[in-house]
Amino acid sequence: MSTTFIPPIAALQEPSLAPALRVDAMGGAAAVTSFGNMVTSGLQQVNAQLQASQADLQSLAAGNLDNIHQVMLRLEESRMSFQLMLQVRSRVLESYQDLMRMQV
């Protein structure tokens, strides 16, 4: 009689910030990608998700798609991405306002 065990769960790894920030020879951080580029890229991804979900919704309404589950999943993903983008925007604005209130 052989016993088989459930394989262990692989450890989750956080995304590394190493490609985004590197330390140069002088000890300062040299940004490989700027913050503005990261924000622009994120906004473009959210926009693409919103447009794809709207196109799926229109196709479903026109009767071209049969899989309502996939459409609802994409709509929910785009809604969550949009909410995350709004939260990031709020945090960035809050941080900017905190910096402006600081006395030098």
In the chain, how many domains are there? Answer: 1
Q: What is the residue-level pLDDT of the chain in tens, covering all 104 positions?
A: 567 777 777 766 666 655 555 555 555 555 567 888 988 999 999 999 999 999 999 998 998 988 889 889 999 999 999 999 999 999 999 999 999 999 88
**Is 1 within a domain?**
no
DSSP 27: S
pLDDT of the residue at 23: 55
Q: Which domain holds residue 57?
A: 27-101
Cα separation, 41 vs 55, in Å, equals 21
Task: Record the tokens describing residue 94, joined without a space.
Answer: 């809050």
The secondary structure of the chain in percent helix, strand, coil, rounded to multiples of 5, reads 60, 5, 35
pTM beyond cutoff 0.85: no
**Is 74 within a domain?**
yes
**Is 69 within a domain?**
yes
**Is 16 within a domain?**
no
The tokens 């065990």 sit on which residue? 5
**Is 22 within a domain?**
no
**Is 86 within a domain?**
yes
**Is 9 within a domain?**
no
Handedness of CA 77, 83, 84, 85 (dihedral sign): positive
**Is 61 within a domain?**
yes
